[in-house]
Amino acid sequence: MFNRILIANRGEIALRVIRACRELNIETVVVYSKADAGAAYLELADEAICIGPGPSAKSYLSIPSIISAAEIANVDAVHPGYGFLSENAHFAEICRANNIEFIGPDVETIRRVGDKAEARSAAVAAGIPVVEGSKGPVGTDQEALEVAHRVGYPVLIKAVSGGGGRGMRVAHNDMALINNLATARSEAEASFGDASVYIEKYLEAPRHVEIQILGDRRGDVIHLGERDCSVQRRHQKLIEESPSPAIPPDIRKKMGIAAVKLARQVGYHGAGTVEFLYEGKRFYFIEVNARIQVEHPVTELVTGIDLIKEQLRVAAGEPLGRKQGQIPFRGHAIECRINAEDPERGFAPSPGVVTHWQPPGGPGVRVDSHLAPGYRVPPNYDSMVAKVLVHADTRAEATSRMRRALDEMRVGGIQTNLGLHRRILRNAYFERGEYTTRFLDELLSA
C-alpha cells in the first residue's frame, strides 16, 4: 500500500480522499490554489501546498505545478479526484514517468475511453448496443447529413472530447444541423481543445442509468450495481439514486454484464462508470467515465463498499478480493447535489462567504461537504458545495428521509438550490419514480 499520496483536487472530493487515507494510515498532501487558501479541509491533510492563483488553468489544471508539488512532497501516488486532470492521459503519463503512481486506469485506456467516438466503437466491438449514429467523428457536412437521414431527426451533435454535459447540440432538421455543426465544432475546440464531433440519434425521453465498475490490475472486473441519474438540469446531474426505480431485474442484470464486458475489452482497472441511456425497455451505451464520480457515495451506501479505499488498494496492486456474487445490495440511497446557485437568476453561480452552515444529521444521513462557517465559496470553480445523501430500507423511506434532511439543512450567506431539491422531493412524479432526463427542465419551464 502507498505511504503518502498527493491529492490533485479541491473541495469535497479532496476531503473525501483525505478521510479514506486517514482510515488506511496513508499520509496525505493536498494542493490548493490561492482562492482556496485557509479552507478548513486543508487542515485535515498532513501537508498542504499552494500551487498557484485562483484560475484553474494556473493551479488545478497546471501539470508542471502539480508534478513539482508531488516531487517536493515526495509522494508515492497522485489521486486526481474528478474533473480537472482526472481523465487527462497526458497527466497520468507524466506522473508515471516520474515514478509516481496515477490512481486511475492505464494511460492507453484513459485515452481510448476519453475519445467518446472510440469508446462507442469499443462498445460495438464488445456487442453492446449504442445509440444509432455516426461510426466515428463526422468529417464533412455531407457526411453529417447522411447520418441524420439514416437515423432520422432529431439528432444530437456531441464533442468527441466533451464532458460535464457540455458541448452537445440538438438538431431537428438539415438547416439546424449544418448551422449547429459549425457552432459545436468551434465550441468543442474552445472548451476541449479538440474540434471533432460525432452524431447520435437524440432520444426524446430516456433515463440515464450508469453502472459502477471496479477492476484490478490482474484483469478481474466486477460491477457494483447501477445509479439512476435522470434528474438533470441541462444535461447535468442533480439527483442520483440506487437502485433505479425504472429498471426491471433482467435489464439490470444485462446492463451489469455489458459494463463488465466493456471494461474487460478496454483493459480497465480502478473505479469507473459505464453510462447508458434507457428508453422503451432497451438500453444504449453512451460513454465511460475513467475516474471516481461525484455520485459514488450512492453506491457506497447500498453496497457498504468504500470506493475510494478500493481505488487506492487496486492502484497499489492489490487484488479485488471480492467476487461478483459477494457484492451485497441493501436498501435504497439518494443523493442531492447542493450547488451555490441563485434560483432567482436562472441558477447562476452564487459565490461568497458562508455565514451559516447547519448540515442535516440523524439516522441514515450522510453529508459530504467542505463547507464551514466563514468559508468563502470562490467564483473560480464548479458550484457544487455539498452532497446530501440518505439511505433507508425502501425508496419510500429514503424519499421521506431526504425531505426531512433537506428541511433541516441551513446554508446562509450564499444562494443555493436547496429550495429546488425540496420541491423535487415533493413532486408526485418523482415520488413515484416516474421521471426521465426531461423531467427537471419541464418542471422548471412549467
For residue 278, the minimal CB distance to ligand ADP (Å) is: 11
Intra-chain end-to-end CA distance of the chain, in Å: 53
The answer to whether the CB of 255 falls within 8 A of the CB of 218 is: no
Q: Which residues pair with 185 in a beta bridge?
A: none
CB 213 within 8 A of CB 224: yes
- Residue 219 neighbours by CB distance under 10 Å: 11
**Rounded CA gap, 437 and 205, in Å?**
6
Q: Which one among 129, 136, 163, 351 touches ligand ADP, defined by CB under 6 A?
A: 163
When asked if residue 337 is in the footprint of ligand ADP (CB under 6 A), the reply is no
* Under rule CB under 6 A, residue 240 binds ligand ADP: no
CB of 165 to ligand ADP, least distance (A): 5
Residue 202 sits in the site that holds ligand ADP (CB under 6 A): yes
Q: Taking contact as CB under 6 A, which single stretch among the options 137-145, 159-167, 211-219, 303-311 is the one that binds ligand ADP?
A: 159-167
Distance of closest approach, residue 186 Cβ to ligand ADP, in angstroms:
17
Question: Of 117-125, 155-163, 178-186, 220-228, which part binds ligand ADP (CB under 6 A)?
Answer: 155-163
CB atoms within 10 A of CB 370: 22
Distances (CA, A) of 75 to 5, 26, 97, 348: 5, 10, 14, 38
Binding of residue 275 to ligand ADP (CB under 6 A): yes
Q: How far is CA 173 from CA 40, 133, 140, 157, 170, in A?
A: 52, 15, 17, 12, 10
Q: How many CB atoms lie within 10 A of CB 43?
A: 10
- Three-state DSSP at 373 gives coil
Q: Least Å distance between CB 94 and ligand ADP? A: 24
Catalytic site residue 291? yes
**Choices 199-207, 329-337, 364-372, 380-388 (CB under 6 A): range interacting with ligand ADP:** 199-207
Show the CA angle centred on residue 247, arms to residues 246 and 251, nearest 5°: 160
Contact with ligand ADP (CB under 6 A) among 41, 398, 437, 439: 437
DSSP secondary structure letter of residue 290: -
The reply to whether omega before 154 is within 30° of 0 (cis) is yes
Say whether residue 58 binds ligand ADP (CB under 6 A). Answer: no
Q: How far is the CB of 430 from ligand ADP (least distance, A)?
A: 16
Among 235, 264, 309, 376, binds ligand ADP (CB under 6 A): 235
- Given the residues 207, 291, 366, 401, the one annotated as active site: 291
User: Cα–Cα distances in Å, from 208 out to 60, 133, 227, 309?
Assistant: 29, 18, 8, 26
Beta bridge partners of 79: 7
Using the rule CB under 6 A, is 164 a contact of ligand ADP?
yes
In the set 48, 51, 131, 392, which binds ligand ADP (CB under 6 A)? Answer: 131
SS3 content of the chain, % helix, strand, coil (to 5): 35, 25, 35
Q: Which stretch binds ligand ADP (CB under 6 A): 160-168, 259-267, 308-316, 400-408?
A: 160-168
The least CB distance from residue 31 to ligand ADP, in Å, is 25
Q: Which residues bind ligand ADP (CB under 6 A)?
A: 131, 156, 162-166, 200, 202-203, 206, 208, 232, 235, 275, 277, 286-287, 437
The residues assigned a catalytic role are: 291
